[in-house]
Each structure stands twice: as C-alpha cells, then as structure tokens.
Amino acid sequence: MILVTGGTGLLGSHLLFELIRLGKPVRALKRERSNTSMVHKIFSYYLSDPDESFQKIEWVDGDLLDFTALEDALDGVSEIYHCGAMVSFHPKDHPLMLKVNIDGTANLVNLSFEKKIRKFLYVSSVATLGRNHSAGFTDEETYWKTSIKNTAYSISKYGGEREVWRGMEEGLNAVIVNPSVILGPGFWDGTSGLFKLLYKGLKYYPKGVNGYVDVKDVVKSMILLMDSNIFNERFIINSENISYRQLFTWIAEYLRKPAPSIYVSPVLSQLAWRIEAARSFITRSRPELTKDMAITTSQRYLYKNDKIRKALGVGFIPVEQSIKDTCRIFLEDRQKN
C-alpha cells in the first residue's frame, strides 16, 4: 500500500491519478474538512469517465500533527509520498506553517521507522536551496544560507527537509525532490491562481526570473525515483528558467488576453506591499501582496536539472507547452461554468 499526503493539492491529485493509472494501491491522507471534489475534477481532465478510477483511492482522515491518526493511516503501508505542506505568504499563517511543515514531517519520519517503511519520498522545494548568485545557477550542492530574503515558507520547508535528512542518518531509505514552481490545471483560486489573475487583465510584471516545471513531469520523476534503487539523495525538478515577463506574456497569449505591459521595479514593489499591509490592517482583510511575495518576484533564480536527467534519463515538457495546455483547460472550465 502507498500513502500519499497532500493528495487534495495540485501535485498530490496528479500523483494520485498517475498511481491509480499504473494500478497501484493508494491511500490518501486528508484533513476531515478537506474537499476531494477537486481531485475528481483533475481526474476528469484526463478521463472521460473518472468515477471508476477516483473510487479506487482509499481516503483516510488525519492531520500531520496528529500522531495517533498518522499511526493508523500507516498501517499496511510500505511507501510514502509526502506531498502535504502548508503554503502561505501571509504573516498570520507563519507560526502554524512552521509547525505543520516541520513537526508534521518529523512525525511521519519517526513513524516510518516504527512501521518499517520501505521508502520515503519527500517533496521539498527549490526554496530550500542556497542562491548561487556568483555562479548564476543553483544545483543540489548549493546549500541553504541564512538570509533576510528567505521567506517563512522556505524556512518551514528547509526545516522539514532537515527532518528527512535526520531520518536518513538514522537509516531511513528516503529521497528528496526539490521542484521549482509547478504549473498545471485546476486550483484556479489557489496554486494556479496566476492564470485567473491574467485572465482578469493583470497589467503588471516584476523583473524577476524563476524556474518552472509541469506537474506531470514532477509526478513522473517522483514515481521513477520511488521505484529506483536511489536513496539518500535530493534532486531539483525543473524544466526551464523563465522571466516573469515571459511567463505572463505566454499565459496572456494563450488565454487570449493582453500581455502585462507595466514594469514594477523592486523599489515600487517594496512600497506596494507596505501600502497593502496598512490597508489590510485597517480593513481587517488578508493582504493581496505581502513582503515575501515582493521579495521573491524581484529576484533572479536559475536552477539546473542535470542531476535528475542523468539519474533517470527524463526529459521535460517545455514551459510554453505546459502553459498552453493549462490555459486550454482553464478556458474549457470557464465555458462549462
């Protein structure tokens, strides 16, 4: 039996789809109030009749911070894909995010010893890697550096990754993947919200550069790594490094909308998040732009993918093609609604 955490998210739902397609027995951990309808919708993007496949998932209620519930969820499990994490750039969420992403991962690692898990795959992030500003590109040997530019999310994922490395030192067979920004359909109000913003006519673009990868390529790499004899390693999963301007332009093009044309300088971005923070405080609403967002989008991050290519011989969907495919599904969803 395979356990997947974070199965109701973009990556987790696509992983569940592929595991079911391959005929694997799958159990998915979800919070009691989580809605699985989006997972069913993801299945419907790829199947004309998704019900039969969707019903093969064994859903269990639990929480990464509930040790007892996790213990029950791991009964009979031999492999774990730990995709579950809290993602937020909002300061009010930071304490809980740190607890979920670090302590929750520690719980799973500790239980993996007790349950004699054959292999543990942890979905980390390129945000846990150091930024190699001198050489330009970041690879798996570019180690974390303490910096004011590190977001609370990156700190939480780095802490979770440390728990997995600790498990490896104690004998856990584990592997870590560090995906760049994941692109894929669904979750238009969350993970894939950028597509909705550009559809509504976003006019601004920041100066930064970041890495991007199609969700299907991340899933493919994860399953190949799980089925391999590779242990105690980490791998960047990245297709291409693209500027925000190019990314926004492609998305706008395939959504048949005008491309953003107004450049937002780092200075203006810093001013904007402070104004938004004041507005949020006065209105008691969540800010639309945060300090972490402003910092991230103004930086130039470049990632290598040589290691995963050499280890697995994988190729990657070009970012433009991934955007084109995702925009097509977005527009189809708009027509249905």
Whole-number pLDDT of residue 289: 46
> What distance separates the 2 farthest-apart alpha carbons in the chain?
55
Q: 223 falls in which pLDDT band (50, 70, 90)?
A: very high
Report pLDDT for 148: 73
Tell me the two tokens of residue 138.
Answer: 């970041």
Residue 277's pLDDT is 39
Q: Mean of the pLDDT values across residues 232-253?
A: 95
Q: Is the pLDDT of residue 134 over 60?
A: no
% of the chain surpassing 70 pLDDT? 88
What percent of the chain is predicted at pLDDT more than 90? 63
Q: What is the mean pLDDT of residues 222-237?
A: 96
Q: What does each C-alpha distance from 247 to 241, 251, 269, 303 come to in angstroms?
A: 10, 6, 18, 16
pLDDT of residue 301: 85
pLDDT at position 34 is 84
- If one compares 334 and 101, the residue with the highest pLDDT of the two is 101
pLDDT, position 175: 97
Tens digit of pLDDT for each residue in 252-307?
999 999 988 877 756 444 444 344 333 333 445 454 444 555 556 667 789 999 99
pLDDT at site 281 = 39
What pLDDT band is residue 2 in, cutting at 50, 70 and 90?
very high
Q: What is the mean pLDDT of residues 38-43?
A: 95
- List, in order of start, the domains of the chain with CATH numbers: 2-186+211-239+303-317 (3.40.50.720)
Residue 267, pLDDT score: 45
Residue 101 has pLDDT above 80, yes or no: yes
| pLDDT, mean of residues 145-160 | 85
Q: What is the pLDDT of residue 276?
A: 39
Mean pLDDT of 153-175: 94
Per-residue pLDDT, averaged over 12-18, amounts to 97
What distance in Å separates the CA atoms of residue 17 and residue 11, rounded to the nearest whole number?
Answer: 10
Query: Which tokens hold the place of 325?
Result: 């495919």
- pLDDT number for residue 13: 96
Look at residue 100 in the predicted model and tell me its pLDDT. 92
Cβ distance 39 to 20 under 8 Å? no
Task: State the average pLDDT for the chain.
Answer: 87
pTM of the entire predicted model: 0.91
pLDDT at 336 over 70: yes
pLDDT the model gives residue 202: 81
Check residues 275 and 186 and name the one with the higher pLDDT.
186
Tokens of 222: 């994860």
How far, in Å, are 125, 213, 232 from residue 168 at the CA level?
18, 27, 6
**Cα angle vertex 164, ends 161, 165, to 5°?**
90
